[in-house]
Structure 1
């Protein structure tokens, strides 16, 4: 984490426009139009599934998508509402209302900007993969479960939000399936699945919506008694007016209440947007500025709530659509938002006709693609610790809450990481002889004679709180044997934390009380600076911190010989 460096905010749009050309604009224009068409049904579906209206889904895609492209650190990133947020957004609305969602999204935007300002863009990428897969698969199953009512036409109006209770209600009401609604859903599903087999450039979800909506409209007018619930039936006539910005009341109580949800939104946004950017970089050969991308995502999530929008992040599917259709600059992302804006202003009455079961089919396909079941199967061949993290995160996401899942999943990953580091960090003890080149690739070996009364302890790994405790326990068990000198060899210690310094200080003081000298060997510059700031050099003695083991052994041997000579004189005088 860099708290003192310069602000790393350099939007890709600015560098792109400096050498932009007409031919590049033509490519971006075509890609932007295609992505806008692909994004339309997804924005509507994600808005409805999140518990808001289709209008809000489109507004989020328009405003949020524009800001992600204009302020982000990736050239081809397409921003907007995504399936990953459906669960958390729906939960926040259920518990705290739309204003609670707006405040949580605003705070999430601020957290994202802070992550970017503190240069934490690269750190986010190191969140363990089993956690990402666990909660992504959990979200996929949760999204699928939310679409059963609309897909089968069960007609339920008060479905529980909890996963197990929800399926209990479904199973109790499966006798109320509406065959016509189910037929529309299955037909939509078939169109979405078959379309890519004809051409991968055709947006299957959009073709399904246009085709199935037209068929349902014709049949409902031609055949009496046939009716399938549409967006207009559920939400009424959709507005074509862009909402005016609105404020909301903030208080410390509200902030404390919504901070965990805001943290979850921020982490989800950071993970998904940087994952999308990484995939895009692999295809285009470009390089994302991770910190700028986080700041851009933060700006989008700060602005969108004032217009009633839901959280925004980078969308992998839409970003890849942009790339495959020739988009290479943020201009394509901006064009895609303009396409959505034109649809919003002039075609919203047609969106009222879209059947809800058709949108359910779109989200069922989205949930299948999110599930990553092949990846899950692959992780089950990994170590048991990775499997346990995945399973726990998955179950917590599905059965309890995404916020809890991320928090506990991260905690589990940290604990398992610390355990692995402690298991791999070795503490060796030497006496009598020491091979200087042991543990290196050197072919020439220099063996040092260690005088009686000298012990060498080598720490192989970071000297942080877990290892410090392990080292302290080893030293305590050997306190019965009182040598003249203890050498602590630290050539393989890349860093030392506060607990390591504290335990080292206690060791030095307790050793000095019984007349044992402590000599530190192979201390690198970073560790040396930490020891100097903690005044360990004053405590142990400046000359007792050596840069090489030969110097440390020579000093220790002299001290031990001097001790023996002194004892021999005392015995002779007695």
Structure 2
């Protein structure tokens, strides 16, 4: 246990985390206040969109935001409820009820922590760019569609049992929409959207979303209308308590928790990686980031919150505002905590349609047309991977979409790598040609040789015609797996069975052990058929052809003198000749 704690020492908070704070505290303070103001409507909106309450979204932003800032592996990551997590939580709430979310959050947090402790943080690097962007596009579409029930009725549950699929639920809501309420809600959405578009053009630091919400809230209070509001929000945080987990439901909730954990890990690491490329704030530790996000979700569950992840939009706002240490993220959480204790009354009067307007704009801004255009015009395979990942995200499940996208990318990558494996049958072109060379063929290998390309390589080499000697040139062979080595052994055996002598030239030191273990070298007729340079191999091949032709001429001569009673020549094929430059024992 002690050794494990020593090995995991770098996964926990340290004084080094705040080394730059004396120089950057002013910028961090301003950035924290700025991102706290921006995060307020998002936290409220994501709480409502998840099928939970605005209070739970706000609690998550406070507790998880604070814990992730302290324990996480990024110096600038801002964490809290996100749109991607909303997409996963909606079907969980629909299937198991809102009361199950705290238990799912606790289980998911423990799973994410375990992933970090097992040092699996770098796994996210295998996710290709088209998969990430397709995943992001799909999430943006889902977030957009999830807001439609909020603007079609004062109570989204009234129109009937809505599907857990965002697209189906949006269609159901539109078909049963209250026309009067829809007009009022669209007006609120338009005001918020206009403020979010115009405010940054006046000055980048103006929080357009917060201004838009305030305008709509004031208008809703002054003008009699049907717009539903958030409702009362407690003026303090609830007392922490461990969520109760029904043992009978544990088996049912674990798959849901695993999905949440996978999404939390993927989104947090992607967000931290992007943040690290936006400013010089120090490298992030992916394993510590997972531990920190796990601690954050566990802490949120104790206060009745929802799962949290790193949020790239809020992190970007914080960086643009000047954040350089994790103190900015801590200040962001404290600003939201102050809102709970000071302004819970006004927050409860915010119309739900105003929050929907913020999330509509958030979804739109998640889609970068330049990026979509770049992927679609890059390669056909990447375009298909991007499109399929986005469609599966919208239609089925986020984690399944990522897995399918990665699998497709792996297939494309393997197919491309297989095409780089070069194998060519080459006639001998020596500086001093010999008539013996017509009976010799060199087979040049180039690039990797592994299971994907092995069958094509085997078929190509075995098409060699009627020759006496084949020289396998392996000096340019790169990575070889067991299947590739086995195919080489099969090639040697197959050619030898046809009476063709095989010589191997240029076995690299990195391949020699594998070739011995798999049987490539043992398949050679003689241990002297292994060479370092081509000149020695060619000299040996010519001597072999010369002896073979001499034996054939002797045999023909003996057949032409039957009267002499001489027996036909039985001179055996010999592999002797010049010594190879290098031969294994």
**Interval of TM-score (by shorter of Structure 1 and Structure 2):** 0.7 to 0.9
Q: Which residue of 2 aligns with 1:469?
A: 455
Q: Which residue of 2 aligns with 1:491?
A: 476
Q: Which residue of 2 aligns with 1:181?
A: 185
Q: Which residue of 2 aligns with 1:460?
A: 446
**1:196 matches 2:200:** yes
Q: What pairs up with 1:68-107 in 2 under 5 angstroms?
A: 68-97=68-97, 99=100, 102-103=103-104, 106-107=107-108
Write the deviation string for residues 544-568 of structure 1: whole angstroms up to 9, x where unpaired. 5555545554555555555555555
Q: What pairs up with 1:127-138 in 2 under 5 angstroms?
A: 127-138=127-138
**1:504 matches 2:488:** yes
Alpha carbons of 1:285 and 1:62: their partners in 2 closer, same or farther (altered >3 Å)? closer
Q: Which residue of 2 aligns with 1:37?
A: 37
Alpha carbons of 1:164 and 1:279: their partners in 2 closer, same or farther (altered >3 Å)? closer
Q: What pairs up with 1:345-364 in 2 under 5 angstroms?
A: 345-364=341-360
Give the Cα separation in 2 of the matches to 1:484 and 1:253.
Answer: 68
Q: Higher mean Cα deviation, 133-142 or 103-112?
A: 103-112
Please list every run of 5 or more consecutive structure 2 residues that lacks an aligned counterpart in the other structure: 1-5, 558-567, 570-585
Q: Which residue of 2 aligns with 1:160?
A: 163
Give the Cα separation in 2 of the matches to 1:563 and 1:331.
Answer: 83
Give the Cα separation in 1 of the matches to 2:527 and 2:410.
Answer: 36
Q: Shift of the alpha carbon at 1:211?
A: 3.6
Please list every run of 5 or more consecutive structure 1 residues that lacks an aligned counterpart in the other structure: 1-5, 435-445
**1:284 matches 2:280:** yes
Q: Which residue of 2 aligns with 1:207?
A: 211
Helix, strand or coil at the partner of 1:433:
coil
Helix, strand or coil at the partner of 2:359:
helix
8 Å CA contact 1:531–1:537 kept in 2: the answer is yes
Alpha carbons of 1:469 and 1:104: their partners in 2 closer, same or farther (altered >3 Å)? farther
Give the alignment's TM-score, normalised by structure 1: 0.82
Write the deviation string for residues 168-207 of structure 1: whole angstroms up to 9, x where unpaired. 3244234624133332232222222222122211222222
8 Å CA contact 1:100–1:258 kept in 2: the answer is no
Give the Cα separation in 2 of the matches to 1:547 and 1:41.
Answer: 70
Q: Which residue of 1 aligns with 2:237?
A: 240
Helix, strand or coil at the partner of 1:485:
strand
Q: Shift of the alpha carbon at 1:357?
A: 0.5
8 Å CA contact 1:11–1:70 kept in 2: the answer is no
**1:228 matches 2:227:** yes
8 Å CA contact 2:87–2:143 kept in 1: the answer is yes
Give the Cα separation in 1 of the matches to 2:534 and 2:245.
Answer: 64
8 Å CA contact 2:454–2:484 kept in 1: the answer is yes
**1:216 matches 2:215:** no
Write the deviation string for residues 326-384 of structure 1: whole angstroms up to 9, x where unpaired. 22112222222233333334443433222100110110011001122332233232222
8 Å CA contact 1:238–1:352 kept in 2: the answer is no
8 Å CA contact 1:432–1:452 kept in 2: the answer is yes
Q: Which residue of 2 aligns with 1:410?
A: 406
Helix, strand or coil at the partner of 1:231:
coil
Q: What pairs up with 1:261-272 in 2 under 5 angstroms?
A: 262=258, 265-266=261-262, 269-271=265-267
Alpha carbons of 1:62 and 1:556: their partners in 2 closer, same or farther (altered >3 Å)? farther
Q: Shift of the alpha carbon at 1:393?
A: 1.8
Q: Which residue of 2 aligns with 1:148?
A: 148
8 Å CA contact 2:101–2:306 kept in 1: the answer is no
Give the Cα separation in 2 of the matches to 1:447 and 1:363.
Answer: 77
Q: Which residue of 2 aligns with 1:52?
A: 52
Write the deviation string for residues 262-307 of structure 1: whole angstroms up to 9, x where unpaired. 3575256425533443344333264333444344434444554455
Give the alignment's TM-score, normalised by structure 2: 0.81
* Aligned residue among 316, 321, 324 for 1:320: 316
Q: What pairs up with 1:517-536 in 2 under 5 angstroms?
A: 517-534=501-518, 536=520
Give the Cα separation in 2 of the matches to 1:241 and 1:110.
Answer: 25
Q: Shift of the alpha carbon at 1:42?
A: 1.2
Q: Shift of the alpha carbon at 1:411?
A: 2.2
Q: Shift of the alpha carbon at 1:101?
A: 7.8
Helix, strand or coil at the partner of 1:125:
helix
Alpha carbons of 1:175 and 1:71: their partners in 2 closer, same or farther (altered >3 Å)? closer
Give the Cα separation in 2 of the matches to 1:184 and 1:89.
Answer: 26
Q: Higher mean Cα deviation, 80-89 or 181-190?
A: 181-190
8 Å CA contact 1:280–1:320 kept in 2: the answer is no
Alpha carbons of 1:295 and 1:461: their partners in 2 closer, same or farther (altered >3 Å)? farther
- Equivalent residue pairs, number: 547
Q: Which has the larger radius of gyration?
A: 2
Write the deviation string for residues 186-241 of structure 1: whole angstroms up to 9, x where unpaired. 22222222221222112222222334324423x1xxx5x534211117xx768731
Helix, strand or coil at the partner of 2:449:
coil
Q: Shift of the alpha carbon at 1:251?
A: 8.4
Alpha carbons of 1:568 and 1:134: their partners in 2 closer, same or farther (altered >3 Å)? same
Write the deviation string for residues 13-63 of structure 1: whole angstroms up to 9, x where unpaired. 636347445343333233222222222221221122122222322232233
Helix, strand or coil at the partner of 2:46:
helix
8 Å CA contact 1:489–1:522 kept in 2: the answer is yes
8 Å CA contact 1:59–1:309 kept in 2: the answer is yes
Alpha carbons of 1:190 and 1:487: their partners in 2 closer, same or farther (altered >3 Å)? same
Give the Cα separation in 1 of the matches to 2:466 and 2:86.
Answer: 63
Give the Cα separation in 2 of the matches to 1:535 and 1:37.
Answer: 68
